[in-house]
Amino acid sequence: MNKTRWFFLALFVLLLVARLCHSHVLWAEETLPLAAAQQMRAGHVLYRDIWFDKPPFAPIVYTLIGGEAGWLLRTLGAFYAWLCCLLTYGFARDLWGRREGLWAAGLMGFFLTFDFASSVIPLAADLLMVAPHLAAVWLAWRGRALWAGALAGVAFAISPKGLLVLAVCLFWSPTWMVPAGFFLVTAIVSAGLWTVGALLAYWDEVWRWGRLYAGSTFVEAPLRNAVVRTLNWSGFHAAMVCAAPGGLSEVPTASARRLNPWLAWLAISLVGVAAGMRFFPRYYFQLLPLLVLLAARGMAEARSARRLLPLLLLIPLIRFAPSYLQALRDTEWRDSAIAARQPSY
């Protein structure tokens, strides 16, 4: 077994062990798709018989494990996070090389572990969109426009923010085949909902009510909240934020105009973070694929004092690592104030 395989094996073990610490905790963001999956297994139809305010992908994923919480759900979460790491490795390796690929995979695994548990543990919509987001842009960069659009369509079946993934792909691969792939997948999903009599209810629950929710905010002083939460997120992710500019300046380009898609990706991702002016920690997953890639290049090419950038990883490590021990010991901690304990039966 070569060093790369050992690296990914160790990374999977980290992801699995961290998530198994939460096998007895049920986080708020996973309760609704979990309940919907249980009702689907009982024969009810999503949207037609069950109220659900997100696109259908998340509860379908939960049906793969029988709609049950516990260790199986956490193991599924570990495999999903590992998939995100593998995709990040492949994209960064193709962009620059193996060293950058390993940095990218390591950073992705690290920040999918050492962050607020309520964000990185539940397989909720914002997290579930990371993998198709990464894969779609990677394929757009490689010129596989139809498949890039199709994966943007998969992202759209997870969250309305999948439209932003489509926009990013169009900057990387400006061809009609990108929206063609997107609309093909969207049409298949819509046809499936129509055949079970749920399409109109889907439009009502996800889009009509979702538009009203996204168009207003319950947060007092939303601009102040935006600044405070973005600064907080940047502080916990300082290693990545500080390394990313170095990666941006080293982007391999065929011409000067090839820099534009990276800047467009950043701008579009910021729109996703700001949607609804709530700035919940999980919304920042929209930025994660881009910043991990650029930070990996910045870390790999660091010179002189910039080689100390990895020390900034101690900030989230010190803040969030103790929560896993607290969860394992079944002791209360402030991050779990919104968590519901599973019944013992």
pLDDT in tens, 187-208: 999 999 999 999 999 999 898 8
| pLDDT cut 90: percent of the chain above it | 67
Which among 136, 157, 20, 144 is positioned nearest to 75, based on CA atoms? 20
User: Residue 318 half-sphere exposure, CB side, CA atoms within 13 Å?
Assistant: 7
| Average pLDDT value over all residues in the chain | 88
Q: Phi-psi bin for 78: left (phi > 0), alpha (psi -120 to 50), beta?
A: alpha
Average pLDDT over residues 94-120: 94
Which range marks the domain in which residue 93 is found?
3-250+259-341
Query: The pTM is what?
Result: 0.91
Chain segment 152-176, per-residue pLDDT in tens: 999 999 999 999 999 999 999 999 9
Total tally of structural domains belonging to the chain: 1
Q: Is 115 helix (H, G, I), strand (E, B) or coil?
A: coil
Query: CB burial class (10 A; 0-12, 13-18, 19+) of residue 81?
Result: buried
Split at pLDDT 50, 70, 90, the class of 344 is very low
Neighbouring CB atoms inside 10 A of 11's CB total: 22
Average pLDDT over residues 169-186: 95
Q: Which helix (H) or strand (E) holds 6?
A: helix 3-20
Average pLDDT over residues 52-69: 90
**CA angle at residue 127 from 121 to 133, to 5 degrees?**
150
